Structure 1
């Protein structure tokens, strides 16, 4: 047998292309970590890699690299070729389109989305430049494979948010966008997050997502959307921005007057709850609003029973003027265990001064949940609502403008400070 030196064995092994010998699925997985332009460039590595990009399962398209200087036409042509030259029948797992300087993208973006869905994409993300709102107003999307959808910096119109034909869609995220549709509809959606968006000003958008489990409506402007029944809801956070359209123009200092059309109800939803009705099945609920925003106070006129609510977080809106809003929420939360109040230093309003000393709302003790275990009060600095002499002894009390304390409103006879001054337990 001829003798083979170790040097020759090393030389032979170094010529072996072990990566190219991997199965197609593994190589496609590797390509999925690369930006699309980089993945296409692998076609020059070897014959084995020449056409792999045509069937890779994850496309990450952005304007980084050769298109950073603003060669928009070349980027559009690249995306068109990347999608249209794919192998017939090859499917996609994920498509991410993110770019900063594509000037003429509007005429192409709908085509790219439809093509991605025709390739059975399960995850679709579209994030154009924050200064370039593209308009998506085509017919509703149709897909049996789409599971997660994310939009940023887009203008969604007409029936584009009708996802009744996306039967597998479970996760929807919309950020920094304008919603000018009449309805958000999905029978399959389980998680929805809408942040820093502008809802239409000429009417309420109806949100019909009956199987939703988690909801985030954070930092939105425009007319507050109308939430329909969500029986599976577990966690919800609702926090409008300080120039939401739902304000009272008749009341003092922006507070609800109780008599104008905005405070009493609007014809577009027959005078019922806008938010609280749809949130009534939540287990964990956060309702954050600035003082002039009336939608929560207005909804309390038709306050539903929160039959599953265990944890509730509220801020200043529920204790402004008097404790009526807070007490109303507690009276309608029969199994509540944890109450968290987040308060900031506020100046007394003219309306607060007018009602000071009026405790008529507290003549009848509130029917508070016997399950209530912890009340946590968070504040930046001590103000008139927290009794200063009690704070020094670790027994802080929250005061309403009508002179009624939280202790009295909750009909709790004794308190025990457990975390400096910001946490109390009901023994």
Structure 2
């Protein structure tokens, strides 16, 4: 005979909505893992869920599934509701907008994306990510971004114009990540920024973009095309990785053997900065530096004409640009790195550079520099093969009296 009381308890247990019984803060966190449209649809589950979407901590917008079947007019109204009808007392951790679906008429996207961004910031979003289609030139223009709450901003596959990159009114912004963007702005400005990554971007300006980020701690400038940005002083900088693209528009038509003549407009650029560094001056306070480029890259050699003193630099990684066509660039970096402890040379296989014979005949470069860091004891050379160029570098290092570690790497 079935125990009636036990059956009733079991039935009651099965019917109990234990998820809805969770505290609001947990349910808001759970909704943050859903796409925005799915999160809003939870209002149909039960009375308990009717208004939870208004306080979800993360809004994820992807152009997949249901989004692809909707018109852009409906999407705009939906986003307005999601952002503007939020509970004003709730915290918004993150807004992620990723839109890749293109219609025949996509001119609307510039306006609506800009509106969504500013709505998100008005809702006190702390992290904002915008990734658009690389197939179409989407543009973000207009007045500077304003937010006291924004901590991280990530932008991908957009064109940035006007004053959009003026973050002087974003007092909490600490991380800025820009990837595969066209930069048509004259300045990147932030007093609060600590971490900056510019990857795969292209400057369309005739002059240089001036970067004013005095409190920056870490910098990554990778595969940059166009003219190299002009970095102003960064006294708090600790680490920097700089790897320009091979198609950087800094070059010299008059120089000999990959050298910068320092006179022509191509060398100095139309930036009213002809008598000083473009890049190395801003990096001079770093404790760790990685400077890599193909041998014909001009920008590092150009800056060495006014080489700053790296008074805090302890770890330095260079590649073949500093030993071709001769060792002058390497010697210069060593002489200006007063407390250097660790030095790594990464020498990939290269063809014989122009002017190499003349450079090897300059015996003064094979003498020990007058001033070199007394802290530098061990140096690492990474190479594919021990060719003549590597032997020349090793001969120079032996003169310095340092221990040398040679590491074979794959091509």
Whether the TM-score (by the shorter chain) exceeds 0.5 is yes
- Give unpaired runs (5+ residues) of structure 1: 388-396, 423-427
Q: What's 1:93 paired with?
A: 93
- 1:24 shift after superposition: 1.6
1:46 alignment partner in structure 2: 46
| Corresponding pairs, count | 403
The answer for the alignment partner of 1:8 in structure 2 is 8
Please report the TM-score for the alignment, with normalisation by the length of structure 2: 0.92
Q: Give matches, 1:21-420, under 5 Å.
A: 21-68=21-68, 71-102=71-102, 103=106, 104-252=108-256, 254-263=258-267, 267-362=271-366, 365-387=369-391, 398=393, 405-408=396-399, 411-412=400-401, 415=403
Task: In structure 2, list runs of 5 or more residues that go unmatched.
Answer: none
Tell whether the 8 Å contact from 1:290 to 1:317 is kept in structure 2 after alignment: yes
State the shift of 1:173 in Å.
0.4
Distance (whole Å) between structure 1 residues aligned to residue 47 and residue 242 of structure 2: 55
TM-score (norm 1): 0.88
The offset of 1:30, in angstroms, is 0.8
What stretches of structure 1 move > 6 A for 4+ residues in a row? none
Moved more, 21-30 or 135-144: 21-30
Is the 1:204–1:268 contact (alpha carbons within 8 Å) kept by the matching residues of 2?
A: no
Q: Secondary structure at the match of 1:385?
A: helix
Q: Compared with structure 1, are the counterparts of its residues 385 and 239 closer, same or farther at alpha carbon in structure 2 (3 Å cutoff)?
A: same
Q: Distance in 2 between the 1:421 and 1:80 partners?
A: 57
The C-alpha deviation readout for 1:43-91, integer Å capped at 9, x for no partner, is 1211111221122121011112123467544433432332233345544
Question: How much does 1:247 deviate?
Answer: 1.1
Greater displacement, 43-52 / 79-88 = 79-88
Contact 2:88 / 2:123 at 8 angstroms: preserved in 1? no
How many Å separate the matches in 1 of 2:42 and 2:183? 40
| Pairwise CA RMSD | 2.2
Alpha-carbon displacement from aligned partner over 1:4-45 (angstroms, at most 9, x marks no partner): 522211111122212112222211111011111111121121
Q: Residue 236 of structure 1: SS of its match in structure 2?
A: strand
1:105-140 CA-to-partner distances (Å, cap 9, x unmatched) read: 112111111111111111111111221231111100
Quick one: structure 1 residues 252 and 92, their matched pair in 2 at CA, closer, same or farther if it must change by over 3 Å?
Answer: same
